[in-house]
Structure 1
Amino acid sequence: MLDYIIIALASFFITFLISFPFINLLYKFNIRRVSKIDLEKALPGRKVKFGTPIMGGTVIIISTLILLFLFLRGWKYYPMISAVLIIGGIFGAVDEYINTLGRTITAIRISRKNGEGRSLITVNKWFAPIKKVLMIPWKMFEEALRVMGSEQRGLKSHYKFILHLLIAGIAIAFFIDKQHSAAIYIPFAGNFFLGYFYYPILAFLLLFFANAFGITDGMDGLSAGTHSIVFLAYAILATFLGYTEVAYLCFILFGAELAFLYFNIFPARMEMSDVGTLPLGMLLVLSAAIIHREISLIFIGAIFIIEILSSVSQQWFVKLRGKRIFLVAPIHHHFEKLGWPETKVTMRFWLFTAISAMLGLVIALL
């Protein structure tokens, strides 16, 4: 246990120390959150939040990669964990970069006319209606994910989905290569083998929690505080079950999240943004999967499930019925709209996460 405490402290201090120069760089290069007009109208107090530096999750990724290399590079899952951190961080950074500068600057239109005015690309007029029919599934997919929401200026939801699916595919391919048991533990019943049905479920969980972590990153201290609690819960669970490497990983993430929380509590000096939330959400699922406690995510990760379901249900209800379920979605903004101070919402969400995590630990150990 002493080793776990030491590595958590090391993670805390490494993250803490690199955060100071990193925050200065964010301010220097003006890497900040842009305004969300709709949210400003619903919650006028939110206006002061825009301008806070983003991409703060980078410090968590850096410190975690350093400690993984120093202590866990011999672990068979080390390449997968590192790949998810690096690729997820890069994809998140690209999204935030576009979010900062806007989509329009990335759009490149290529003229299909040559100098003589003749079309270089022609489409048979009879093929046009066929093309429209063939595009219907993609358009439906695009619209469904659009309703679920995307950044006003960042990557569109359907592009995000494809990128997230790519990362999930890398993790699943690694699991298959390492012959990871396709079984989940069911309390009171033991292990239940799912065969190839396991991998679509794992892919869903990876995408679900990657996005749920992102949605929770909406108030000062909310994401880092809840992340700290759930990673500590899985560190304890992995310790009880004898998965030493997973325990090390989760204690590293716990220490890094605590250090980040120092700079993220109200008023935040920086936001985690997709750079951190995307890979960290996936690491939570992978940690649960390696120790075969995927079902525990329902309880330990309850706050993230509630957050994303509140956002998705609001979007769909408005789309289908023209009415709102919540005053503002996701649900943490609903309470803010009710008049709760931001710090009260954040700390009560921390308490809820702590209680649900303890409940999840009990159920996972039955």
Structure 2
Amino acid sequence: MRQLIYATVISFIISILIGPIIIPILEKLKFGQSIREEGPQSHIKKTGTPTMGGIIMMFAVFVTSLLFAWKNTNLIIAMIVTLSFGLIGLIDDFIKVVLKRNLGLRAYQKLIGQLIIGAVVAIYAANHPYIGTTLLIPFTSEYLNLGIFYIPLTIFVVVGTANSVNLTDGLDGLATGVTLVVAAFFAIVSLGSGYTGLSIFSGTIAGACLGFLKFNAYPAQVFMGDTGSMALGGAVAALAVLTRMQLFLPLIGGVYMIEALSVILQVSFFKLTGKRILKMSPLHHHYELKGNHETKVVVSFWIATAILALISMLALSIF
């Protein structure tokens, strides 16, 4: 418990301290966010706000994790997965912001990188003596052995989670606050399940998010960009895989899942009928266009995640 607290506080302090250093640099380099014209009109004023601020969280997580990395292999793996996804996001942001190519990396380029990372963590987990090919079933103390289906399912979970978090990052503080709650959940669960290293790593994510929220909450001084959202998605996915809790992601990561499903349903329905189910996707924009202020939508999603975290606790037999 003491190490978890230390990791959370250290990561928070690093994030708070380097924010005022990184943000002016991003402003000076003119790494500003481009806002879609077809998006909510209230977002137009955000044009030019510095992006790629996920560097702040990545740095805080990396430095803090190094202080404890020598003690736990799982922590090292989780950190590598997080930084690897963050690197994909960083390259994507660089192409969009610096090279002025709006689409960034091609979809297939991002997918190939994500699949490789997903395969590495899936193979590692499948061959780990204390993880293997079993998944904890929610609301029971039973485990489901997937055998040969474990690796493809886990790759799907890793890639899907990373992209779902990426889609959630559309309002000031939304993805940051939701992931803060999710990371706190994994910190408590990992500690209770005996995954000390992963508990510490979860603390570094929670601390980094909490510190970054100071600069990312409405009105945001900086956006995390794909650099941050992909890194956070990788972190959540890695924690779920290494704690054998992939089946819990639809619950604890319910906001991520609903955001992703809203996009899939919107696109699919439009292609089939030429009509839209929502005013705009992802879901958070739909609620904005219905007249809800951005902060109201964000706080509502934070509350929903907190409730889902409590339900997820009930779904664990250790509590």
Q: What TM-score results when the alignment is normalised by the length of structure 1? A: 0.82
Equivalent position of 1:72 in the other structure: 69
- Which residue does the alignment assign to 2:55? 58
Q: Tell me what 2:248 maps to.
A: 296
| Aligned match of 2:5 | 5
- Residue correspondence of structure 1 range 351-362 to structure 2 within 5 A: 351-362=303-314
1:31 paired residue number: 31
Residue number among 113, 118, 140 corresponding to 1:168 in the alignment: 118
1:88-111 per-position Cα deviation (integer Å, ceiling 9, x unaligned): 22211111112224566xxxxxxx
Change (3 A) 1:285 1:62: same
| Moved beyond 4 Å, runs of 4+ | 101-104
The residue identity in structure 2 corresponding to 1:153 is: L
Q: Which amino acid aligns with 1:182?
A: T
Higher mean C-alpha displacement, 46-55 vs 18-27:
46-55
Kept in 2: contact 1:231–1:251 (CA 8 A): yes
Q: Please, which runs of 5 or more residues in structure 2 have no aligned partner?
A: none
2-structure distance, mates of 1:46, 1:154 = 21
Aligned-pair distance for 1:75? Answer: 1.2
The alpha-carbon deviation at position 155 of structure 1 amounts to 2.1
**Is the Cα–Cα contact under 8 Å of residues 125 and 133 in structure 2 kept in the other structure?**
no
Residue 5 of structure 2 aligns to which amino acid in structure 1?
I
Contact preservation (8 Å) 2:119, 2:151: no
Q: Displacement of 1:291 after TM fit?
A: 1.7
TM-align CA RMSD = 1.6
| Cα displacement (A) at 1:178 | 3.7
Alpha-carbon shift at residue 243 of structure 1 (Å): 1.3
- Could you say which structure has the larger radius of gyration? 1
| Structure-1 separation of matches of 2:70 and 2:41 | 48
Q: 1:62 to 1:154 in 2, by over 3 A?
A: same
- Give the CA deviation at 1:220: 0.4
- The answer for the alignment partner of 2:134 in structure 1 is 183
Which amino acid is the alignment partner of residue 23 of structure 2?
I
- Secondary structure of the structure 2 residue equivalent to 1:38: coil
1:155 maps onto 2:105 in alignment: yes
Question: Tell me, what secondary structure is at the counterpart of 2:38?
Answer: helix
Give the partner amino acid of 1:61: M
Whole-angstrom distance in 2 between the partners of 1:84 and 1:315: 30
Please report how far the alpha carbon of residue 176 of structure 1 lies from its aligned counterpart in structure 2 after TM superposition. 4.2
| Cα distance in 2, alignment partners of residues 203 and 188 from structure 1 | 24
Residue type of the partner of 1:344?
A: K
Q: How does 1:46-125 map to 2 (within 5 A)?
A: 46-101=43-98
Q: Distance in 1 between matches of 2:153 and 2:277?
A: 28
Aligned partners of 1:293 and 1:364 also within 8 Å: no
Structure 1 residue 290: deviation in Å? 1.6
- In 2, Cα distance between equivalents of 1:189 and 1:5: 28
The alpha-carbon deviation at position 197 of structure 1 amounts to 0.7
TM-score by length of 2: 0.94
The question of whether the paired residues in 2 share the 8 Å contact of 1:317 and 1:324 is answered with yes
Q: Displacement of 1:156 after TM fit?
A: 2.8
* Equivalent residue runs for 1:182-331 within 5 Å: 182-186=133-137, 187-188=139-140, 190-331=142-283
| C-alpha spacing 1:282/1:87, structure 2 compared with 1 (3 Å) | closer
Q: Measure the CA separation in 2 of the matches of 1:77 and 1:155.
A: 30
Please state how far the C-alpha of 1:261 moved relative to its aligned partner. 0.5
Deviation at 1:234, TM superposition (A): 0.8
State how many pairs are aligned.
Answer: 316
Contact kept? 1:231, 1:253, Cα under 8 Å:
yes
The residue aligned with 1:336 is 288
With over 3 angstroms needed to count, the CA separation of the structure-2 counterparts of 1:325 and 1:102, relative to structure 1, is farther
Instruction: Find the residue that maps to 1:184 and give its secondary structure.
Output: strand
1:19 equivalent in structure 2: 19
Does the 8 A contact of 1:11 with 1:255 survive in 2? Answer: yes
Contact 2:74/2:198 (CA < 8 Å) preserved in 1?
no
